[in-house]
């Protein structure tokens, strides 16, 4: 093996290139027209353009990828994850060409890639499985019939699904019908397979998975577990290793069952056996991913292994260099997936140019896996993940501490992002205590995400930051000899404070309260301000507005305006522009493509009625009416229309 073609895009390509180069191997990147300027393309030794932006014409175009393999004379292919990573036909085509597939064999991939067949095999191998129906679901009526037999709630899944696609929970007959339609559509669109199965949905479930590693000589190890319960729409958001819920006996039992299943299908390479775990610590087989996982870095951090390197070595026919006794738990690791989406607007996907992209400094405790760069584009055609932020500590508390610091220091401007959400989650009491399930996000934010809950101390910290930044950005700071009174508005709350410069630091007081000592590191234009308030360090992301600043820290973003008392008094008389009235319109919440329009001109709609379905970043998004009794005046789009964010789709009378 001398040259590896990486049949994927984004951060995983950058990751594989790094390992391949360390092993003395050449790399070939492939890309779509939309990705030709991206970082991962620049990093490879060679690159080839596959075709237009849509995945079906580029990253899923097997014929074109095979042409590139022949042109580049690559003798191995690493599929990364997603796209063709679990496509047995692609793997077979490589074998016929004498090209090494860096992953499992065709037969084990086919056996585990079909969720219906894999469940049967798991049950036969003695692995715990969830009650359900793994036959053919004929239509929506049949889905309802099966759901009733299994007992609500049920999980409806596309047989070939993965990555959160083609999966819905149904609590009643209507939801079962909707889930049948949506999951079969997503299965057909993304995996070219609309078969479904239905199983019992475990209440208060955790999603815990076991990483396995096997060679072609019968040697196998399990590399501990990953806790992946913090999810949204079945898409993982935060992962950690190990799990706070798993004890040594449970870890061993899960690991042994995972290896038992892998051996039953003659599996080799890395793979992940996923389990759903109930509150009673009962665990049940969910699926096996016959590929590298997005969250593989946290396993690498706690074991010291490079899983990409292990995949390459196994593909070359080497024996494992470790035994189960060699696998230890080394500290604690966490991973946050940073997505281009707006959690404040129901997690709508976001696209556009990365005007500002500055990750935190990497070291032994902080790692950033990224395939993007400042000035690059986040496209509507692919998954919205910008990068992965991974931290390590000697224990969970230390790992969380580093994650808080790293999130506060991560600067992204251009597309919206979910850093506030991630920051809020890792500081939430339930997460800190380890009291989490796969419903964590919906339970903690039942009315949607609105930022971290304001606290008195937090608001004061924002006020101090706003005051210090205002003074640092003005000549006033240089002239400040003794005392400066300020009025700071944090969102709608007004705080009066006094700042005194004294012997290289600042003394800040609110009213008659005792002053606190503040030191700071802030340079205009850096986008970051680090304050030490009474020995407590706080880093704020800073963005200048027409007046004041947008400040972010700890999962909360506020508009903060610091003024002298006179300027504050005058500001009260300034007129405020009213936002336009858009109540008569249905606006597109994101860039995307219209899949269906389900209402007509002249039709009267009711609250909750489905108006249209949009596709963006590999997901179907259903737009429903928020009002009762409105009559449709005009429809501006049709199925197949490409739309931008905030574009008018439907107008009511």
Distance CA 43, CA 113 (A): 31
Instruction: Please tell me what DSSP assigns to residue 264.
Output: H
Burial of residue 322 (CB within 10 Å: 0-12, 13-18, 19+) is: middle
- Residue 237 in contact with residue 249, Cβ under 8 Å? no
Q: Are strands 592-597 and 604-605 parallel, antiparallel or unpaired?
A: unpaired
Distance CA 583, CA 598 (A): 20
From the DSSP assignment, how many helices (H) and strands (E) are in the chain?
18, 39
Is residue 153 reached through a cis peptide bond, with omega within 30 degrees of 0 on the bond before it?
yes
Look at the chain and count its residues.
653
Burial of residue 581 (CB within 10 Å: 0-12, 13-18, 19+) is: exposed
474: left (phi over 0), alpha (psi -120 to 50) or beta: beta
- Residue 289 in contact with residue 108, Cβ under 8 Å? no
Residues 6+ positions from 76 with CB-CB distance below 8 Å? 1, 3, 4, 5, 99, 100, 101, 102, 312, 315
Can you name the residues that pair with 575 across neighbouring β-strands? none
**Backbone phi and psi for residue 296, each to the nearest 5 degrees, phi listed first:** -60, -25
Distance CA 477, CA 479 (A): 5
Catalytic site positions: 287
Tokens of 401: 């501490």
**Backbone phi and psi for residue 198, each to the nearest 5 degrees, phi listed first:** -130, 135
């Amino acid at each position: 093996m001398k040259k590896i073609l990486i049949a994927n895009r984004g951060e995983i390509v950058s990751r594989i290139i790094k390992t391949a180069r360390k092993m003395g191997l050449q790399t070939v990147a492939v890309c779509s027209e939309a990705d030709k300027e991206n970082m991962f393309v620049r990093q490879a030794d060679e690159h080839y353009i596959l075709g237009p932006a849509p995945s079906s014409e580029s990253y899923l175009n097997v014929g074109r990828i095979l042409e590139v393999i022949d042109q580049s004379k690559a003798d191995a292919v690493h599929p990364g994850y997603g796209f063709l990573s679990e496509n047995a036909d692609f793997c077979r085509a490589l074998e016929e060409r004498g090209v090494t597939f860096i992953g499992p064999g065709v037969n084990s991939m086919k056996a585990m890639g079909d969720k219906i067949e894999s469940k049967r095999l798991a049950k036969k191998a003695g692995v715990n499985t969830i009650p359900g129906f793994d036959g053919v679901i004929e239509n929506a009526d049949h889905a309802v019939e099966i759901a009733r037999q299994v007992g609500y709630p049920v999980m409806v899944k596309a047989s070939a699904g993965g990555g959160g696609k083609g999966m819905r929970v149904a609590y009643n007959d209507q939801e079962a019908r909707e889930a049948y339609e949506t999951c079969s559509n997503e299965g057909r669109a993304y995996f070219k397979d609309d078969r479904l199965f239905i199983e019992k949905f475990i209440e208060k479930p955790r999603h815990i998975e076991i990483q396995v590693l096997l060679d072609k000589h019968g040697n196998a190890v399990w590399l501990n577990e990953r806790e992946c319960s913090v999810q949204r729409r079945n898409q993982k958001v935060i992962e950690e290793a190990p799990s706070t819920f798993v004890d040594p006996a449970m870890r061993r039992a899960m690991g042994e069952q995972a290896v038992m299943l892998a051996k039953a299908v003659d599996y080799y390479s890395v793979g992940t056996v996923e389990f759903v775990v109930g509150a009673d610590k009962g665990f049940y087989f969910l699926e096996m991913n016959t590929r590298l996982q997005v969250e593989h870095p946290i396993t690498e951090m706690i074991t010291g292994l490079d899983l990409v390197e292990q995949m390459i070595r196994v593909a070359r026919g080497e024996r494992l260099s470790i035994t189960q006794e060699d696998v230890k738990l080394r500290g604690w690791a966490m991973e946050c997936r940073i997505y281009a989406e707006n959690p404040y607007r129901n997690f709508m996907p976001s696209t556009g140019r990365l005007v500002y992209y500055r990750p935190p400094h990497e070291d032994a405790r902080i790692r950033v896996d990224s395939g993007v760069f400042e000035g690059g584009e986040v496209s509507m055609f692919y998954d919205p993940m910008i990068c992965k932020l991974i931290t390590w500590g000697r224990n969970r508390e230390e790992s969380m501490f580093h994650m808080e610091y790293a999130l506060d220091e991560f600067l992204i401007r251009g597309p919206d992002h979910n850093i506030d959400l991630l920051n809020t989650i890792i500081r939430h009491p339930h997460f800190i205590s380890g009291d989490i399930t796969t419903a964590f996000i919906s339970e903690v934010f039942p009315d949607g995400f609105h930022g971290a809950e304001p606290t008195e101390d937090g608001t004061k910290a924002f006020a101090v930051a706003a005051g210090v930044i205002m003074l640092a950005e003005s000549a006033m700071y240089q002239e400040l000899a003794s005392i400066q009174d300020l009025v700071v508005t944090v969102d709608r709350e007004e705080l009066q404070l006094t700042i005194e410069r004294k012997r290289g630091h600042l003394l800040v007081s609110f009213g008659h309260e005792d002053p606190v000592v503040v030191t700071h590191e802030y340079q205009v234009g850096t986008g970051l301000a680090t304050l030490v308030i009474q020995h407590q360090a706080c880093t704020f992301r800073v963005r200048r507005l027409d007046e004041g600043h947008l400040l972010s820290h700890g999962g909360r973003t506020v508009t903060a305006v610091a003024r002298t008392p006179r300027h504050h008094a005058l500001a009260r008389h300034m007129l405020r522009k009213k936002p336009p009235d858009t109540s008569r319109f249905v606006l597109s919440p994101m860039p995307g493509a219209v899949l269906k329009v389900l209402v007509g001109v002249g039709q009267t709609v009711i609250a909750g009625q489905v108006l249209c379905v949009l596709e963006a970043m590999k997901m179907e998004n259903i737009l429903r009416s928020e009002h009762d009794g409105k009559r449709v005046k005009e429809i501006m789009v049709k199925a197949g229309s490409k739309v931008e964010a905030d574009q008018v789709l439907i107008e009511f009378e």
